[in-house]
Amino acid sequence: MATQPSGQRKLQILQALAAMLEHPKGEKITTAALARRLDVSEAALYRHFASKAQMFEGLIEFIETSVFGLINQITERQQDGLAQACDILAMLLHFATNNPGMTRVLIGDALVGEDERLQQRMNGFYDRVELALKGALRQAVADAAAGDQERDVALRASLMVAFVVGRWHRYAKSGFTLSPAQDANAQIALLLR
């Protein structure tokens, strides 16, 4: 690890942390365990991150950048509001499948006992996802030339976020064996009726 540029070292640390999160019944996530996994000293970790909380912030930054980048692509590519909502929900479920360690961050499981601001940041993430879904549903209402259904839009967006978070929880609590995307298309269709 000593010959790599700083940015690559940081990425390697975050990747190792994410990999450790994929084993919820494994060893406790500590900087000592992370350093052992990377075969470096704890001091080497602290040269790149001031605290363990900063390491988790790095994972959250990856989640936010990835998810909201994909949401932007969906809304630019797809004009139909219901199709946008469907694609956003499917993307969120597949993101967890592709990033099991990150799922524990998404549901807050990995953040228990860490700095409270990390969970607050994830709460803000949920709010932003809900806002994106509201936008898609508002577009769907406009597409249907329906009347004022703002309350329905807000309720549906909140229900959709709860659906996704529930599927993420189930995935993490199953030891990453029950795919959050299993039967998702049928369930999403029911939510969007």
Q: Which two tokens stand for residue 123?
A: 């709460």
Percentage of the chain modeled with pLDDT above 70? 92
CA–CA gap between residue 184 and residue 163 (Å, rounded): 10
Scan for tokens 């995935």, then name that residue. Answer: 171
Split at pLDDT 50, 70, 90, the class of 151 is: low
And the tokens for 28?
């406790």
Neighbour tally for 158: CB within 10 Å: 14
Count other Cβ atoms within 10 Å, centred on residue 89: 25
- Asked whether the whole model's pTM tops 0.75, one would answer yes
Neighbouring C-alpha atoms within 13 Å toward the C-beta of 179: 10
> What letter does residue 178 receive in the DSSP assignment?
S
Domains and CATH numbers, the chain: 53-192 (1.10.357.10)
Share of the chain above pLDDT 90, in %: 80
3, with CB counted inside 10 A (0-12, 13-18, 19+), is exposed
Does pLDDT of 25 surpass 90?
A: no
Query: Any alpha helices (H) in 144-174, and if so which ranges?
Result: 150-173
Cβ-Cβ contacts under 8 Å for 93 (sequence gap 6 or more)? 164, 167, 168, 180, 181, 184
How many whole angstroms separate alpha carbon 71 and alpha carbon 116?
A: 27
What was the pLDDT predicted at 4? 62
Average pLDDT score over the chain: 91
DSSP secondary structure code for residue 109 in this structure: G
Give CA–CA dist 113/169, Å, rounded: 18
